[in-house]
Amino acid sequence: MLLHLLDRLGSGFDCASKEEIDRVLEMGVDPSRIIFANPCKMSAQITHAKLRNVRKMTFDNEDELLKIAQLFPEAELVVRIITDDSHSMCRFSSKFGARLTDAKKLLSLAKELRLSVIGVSFHVGSGCEDPAAFELAANDALKVFQMVKDLGMPPMKLVDVGGGFQGIPDAKPALTDVAKYLLPALKK
């Protein structure tokens, strides 16, 4: 029921496996509303995404870029960056994402491989208790936009915000608290 509600509301879907992609597609969701966001995709799953026309996918390391270049060079790529998730119950930056210091090298490789980088992704961790973490992460995303510009690549058009937004009454921080920090940063 929840997936159908999200579909009716026009939500995008962050999928981490072939099974998740298929489940969303079987609901009639257009593949353009799906991002294959597994940080370490198996080759067979990249090929499956290509066959199902799920073009958006994340990367955060050189090996992933090389794999995508070989199997799905037409993909629309989103670089996932590390962010401060120290205020979260479930932290992901120790496992996923590229450091900002490595992002320019990865973007240069993507350019050299003639891959299309359309955006940047970050996740402040699930159960993030500090709404300012979203602003800091969005400011880091802005730095990646500038890197793309400096490299002479086509402008990016997407910011994929992750943070395990809490959908329960009286959650702290409330979505409105997060929005106070995040929206002004995204406008930049």
- Given a cut of 80, whether residue 165 has pLDDT beyond it is no
Q: What is the pLDDT of residues 82-127, one digit of tens each?
A: 885 555 555 455 556 788 999 999 999 999 999 999 999 987 766 6
List beta partners, residue 58: 78
Closest to 128 in 3D by CA, of 162, 168, 81: 162
Confidence tier at 2 by pLDDT (50, 70, 90):
confident
Distance, CA of 46 to CA of 17 (rounded, Å): 10
How many residues are listed for the chain in this entry?
A: 188
Distance, CA of 96 to CA of 91 (rounded, Å): 10
Q: Which amino acid is at 89?
A: M
Q: What's the pTM value of the predicted model, to 2 decimals? A: 0.88
Q: What is the pLDDT of residues 8-54, one digit of tens each?
A: 999 999 999 999 999 999 999 999 999 999 888 999 999 999 999 99
- Name every residue whose Cβ is closer than 8 Å to that of residue 3 and which is 6 or more positions away in sequence: 13, 23, 24, 27
Determine contact, residues 77/117, Cβ cutoff 8 Å. yes
